[in-house]
Amino acid sequence: MSIFEKAFGPSMDIQNFINGAFVAPVNKLKFDNINPATASVICTVPDSDEMDVEMAIDAATAAFPSWQKTSNEERFRILHAISTGIMDNLDKFAMAESLDTGKPVSLAKTVDIPRSAQNFEFFATAIMHFASESHEMQDVAINYTLRKPLGVVACISPWNLPLYLFSWKIAPALAAGNCVVAKPSEVTPLTAYLLGEICQKAGLPNGVLNILHGFGHKVGAAIIAHPKIKAISFTGGTSTGKTIASIAAPQFKKLSLELGGKNPNIIFADAEWDKAMETTLLSSFRNQGQICLCGSRILIESSIYEKFKEEFVAKVANLKVGNPMDGTTNVGAVVSKNHYHKILDCIELAKSEGGKILIGGHPLKMDGDCEQGYFIAPTVIEGLPQNCKTNTEEIFGPVVTLQPFENEAEAISIANGTNYGLSATVWTSDLKKAHRMANNLEAGIVWINTWMLRDLRTPFGGVKQSGVGREGGWEAMRFFTDAKNVVIKY
Ligand code: NDP
């Protein structure tokens, strides 16, 4: 019996979730979903196309008039019930996320799934507090702003944090009164599928959320091009973001794009050593380095460069790479065979660009169940110039580079020297320096002496080619509503 069967019962076909029911794609086509830790088939996935999109959009369109009028209290109740439903099934969701992605099940259980539940909880309460402005023109008139849901919107998410990012979009869209057609990545469909069951039990009316599975270039492209889709919230690669923008812009769809990153992690000599070291280990290799916020470029002040390098490499050597189901594993498998080869090609490129591999730089063969899995040794590279491809293009794997810098100005120049601008981390005990760095870094998020600490009320997103628009808090609620100004003359 496979591990999947043990967790979920006999092997099954994932189905689309349309109008409150689980249905096969109209064309009956399907493809295999592979567990990257074992290279074995988990289940099959619908290879949906524009016929399924049409059905989903019809269902969402029919559900919208009633959903937009549903009271905030009722929307709160349903989203809260979805959140509770996820946490009631924490083990099942964590297992599914780990099987799909190759991430340690311990990570899925402590980060991915609790945060997904929190996303629904957060936006459940947000709709109870969301208010709009009024502007008085003294003795002349009063303006007030109404915020109306948009209608049917699309939410498209990637494979690295599947339910976490899927729910980060769906929850505010639903809270604001929209109906949703959503697509998870085709390589990680399991938790999105399980979410459908939770929504049914939570009493979400039919058609309010529709989940389609399949390939981005096929069903994803059909969703975003559909004239009835009023807004697109997309997280994924920068090149996919460009394609989506080129289709959405001429149709004047609202667009939120959360794209790639090549984030600097800047360590000054006056940093609190142990905290900087331990957190850098996490920001480099958590989720196999496949988080858009990972600090893949470690910039170290020259005076501590050799000492930091030596200790960091020794700690990397102690990371346990292995079976994601083992509770003591730090680093699991990368998400797919394609991605595994892409990362290994990037490592070869780094070598050809003159990089010196300090540790890792090769695939890892496991024993037992994971013998055929896609594992890569955590890799640290030094000696590369700032403007080479390895230091400017996203790898999205367990690979980091080290670069020395002499002073603040040089740190800023290296840090800002890519087309990306998602996040940056700064380690220093000097408050004034921290403020100067935060002010000068080209990034949507700057962490000082921490990493990935998130308050869901804050704006989240990137500058330059890392994206357009912001998610989180009121930013998300505003994105998923249209403002209407009403003027009443006194
Ligand atoms: P992709 O851009 O390949 O895919 C993202 C999603 O878009 C998937 O569901 C994909 O489907 C779908 N898609 C692909 N092509 C189209 C299309 N033409 N029309 C509509 N949908 C499409 O990204 P990855 O899944 O490879 O994810 C990794 C990327 O995501 C990295 O670049 C990473 O930096 C970025 N990311 C950004 C974050 C941020 O907040 N800024 C957070 C997390 C990741 P399919 O899988 O079937 O191709």
Over residues 73-93, the pLDDT tens digits come to 999 999 999 999 999 999 999
- How large is the average pLDDT for residues 137-158? 98
- How large is the average pLDDT for residues 382-408? 98
Give the residue, by CA position, lying nearest to ligand 1 atom 16: 216
- How large is the average pLDDT for residues 95-114? 98
Q: Under a CB-based contact definition with an 8 Å cutoff, are residues 183 and 211 in contact?
A: yes
pLDDT at position 12 over 80: no
Domain with CATH 3.40.309.10 in the chain: 264-455
Q: Give the per-residue pLDDT at 13.
A: 86
Q: Give the per-residue pLDDT at 80.
A: 98
Cα–Cα–Cα angle for 107, 109, 115, nearest 5°?
A: 90
pLDDT at position 426 over 90: yes
- How large is the average pLDDT for residues 102-111? 98
Q: Which of 401, 389, 387, 392 is nearest to 421 (CA)?
A: 392
- How large is the average pLDDT for residues 409-436? 98
Q: How far is the CA of 241 from the centre of ligand 1 (A)?
A: 8
Q: Is residue 97 annotated as part of the catalytic site, yes or no?
A: no
Q: Pull the structure tokens for residue 66.
A: 């009633």
Q: Map tokens 């979920």 to a residue.
A: 8
pLDDT at position 402 over 90: yes
pLDDT at position 8 over 70: no
Q: Give the per-residue pLDDT at 4.
A: 58
pLDDT at position 1 over 80: no
Q: How far is the CA of 1 from the centre of ligand 1 (A)?
A: 33
Q: Give the per-residue pLDDT at 7.
A: 64
- How large is the average pLDDT for residues 265-281? 98
β-pairing verdict for 467-468 and 375-376: unpaired
pLDDT at position 11 over 80: no
CB atoms within 10 A of CB 420: 26
Using one digit for the tens of pLDDT, what is the confidence trace for 225-272? 999 999 999 999 999 999 999 999 999 999 999 999 999 999 999 999
Mean pLDDT of the chain, nearest integer: 97
CB atoms within 10 A of CB 164: 22
Q: How far is the CA of 168 from the centre of ligand 1 (A)?
A: 15
Of the listed ranges 6-15, 38-47, 108-117, 213-222, the least confidently predicted one is 6-15
Half-sphere exposure of 111 (CA within 13 A, CB side): 17
Q: Give the per-residue pLDDT at 235.
A: 98
> Residue 100 — pLDDT band, cuts 50, 70, 90?
very high
Atom of ligand 1 nearest to the CA of 460: 40
pLDDT at position 340 over 70: yes
Cα–Cα–Cα angle for 154, 159, 160, nearest 5°?
A: 120
CATH architecture assignment, domain 264-455: 3-Layer(aba) Sandwich (3.40)
Give the residue, by CA position, lying nearest to ligand 1 atom 22: 216
Q: Is residue 294 annotated as part of the catalytic site, yes or no?
A: no
Secondary structure of the chain as H, E, C letters: CCHHHHHHCCCCECCEEECCEEECCCCCCEEEEEECCCCEEEEEEECCCHHHHHHHHHHHHHHHHHHHHCCHHHHHHHHHHHHHHHHHCHHHHHHHHHHHHCCCHHHHHHHHHHHHHHHHHHHHHHHHHCCCCEEEECCCEEEEEEEEECCEEEEECCCCCHHHHHHHHHHHHHHCCCEEEEECCCCCCHHHHHHHHHHHHHCCCCCCEEECCCCHHHHHHHHHHCCCEEEEEEECCHHHHHHHHHHHHHHCCEEEEECCCCCEEEECCCCCHHHHHHHHHHHHHHHHHCCCCCCCEEEEEHHHHHHHHHHHHHHHHCCCECCCCCCCCCECCCCCHHHHHHHHHHHHHHHHCCCEEEECCCEECCCHHHCCCCEECCEEEECCCCCCHHHHCCCCCCEEEEEEECCHHHHHHHHCCCCCCCEEEEECCCHHHHHHHHHHCCCCEEEECCCCCCCCCCCECCCHHHEECCECHHHHHHHCEEEEEEEEEC
Domain with CATH 3.40.605.10 in the chain: 3-259+466-487
Give the binding-site residues of ligand 1, using a 6 Å CB cut-off: 156-160, 165, 183, 185-187, 215-217, 220-221, 224, 235-237, 240, 243-244, 258-261, 292, 394, 396, 422, 462, 466-467
State percent of the chain over pLDDT 70. 98
Q: Alpha carbon of 376 to those of 320, 332, 336, 339: distances in Å? A: 12, 9, 12, 11
Q: Which of 43, 155, 199, 292 is catalytic?
A: 292
Q: Which of 97, 121, 186, 258 is catalytic?
A: 258
Q: Give the per-residue pLDDT at 6.
A: 62
Q: At residue 113, what is the residue type? A: I
Radius of gyration of the chain (CA): 23
State percent of the chain over pLDDT 90. 97
CATH architecture assignment, domain 3-259+466-487: 3-Layer(aba) Sandwich (3.40)
**What phi and psi values does residue 164 have, to the nearest 5 degrees?**
-55, -50
> Residue 222 — pLDDT band, cuts 50, 70, 90?
very high
> Residue 185 — pLDDT band, cuts 50, 70, 90?
very high
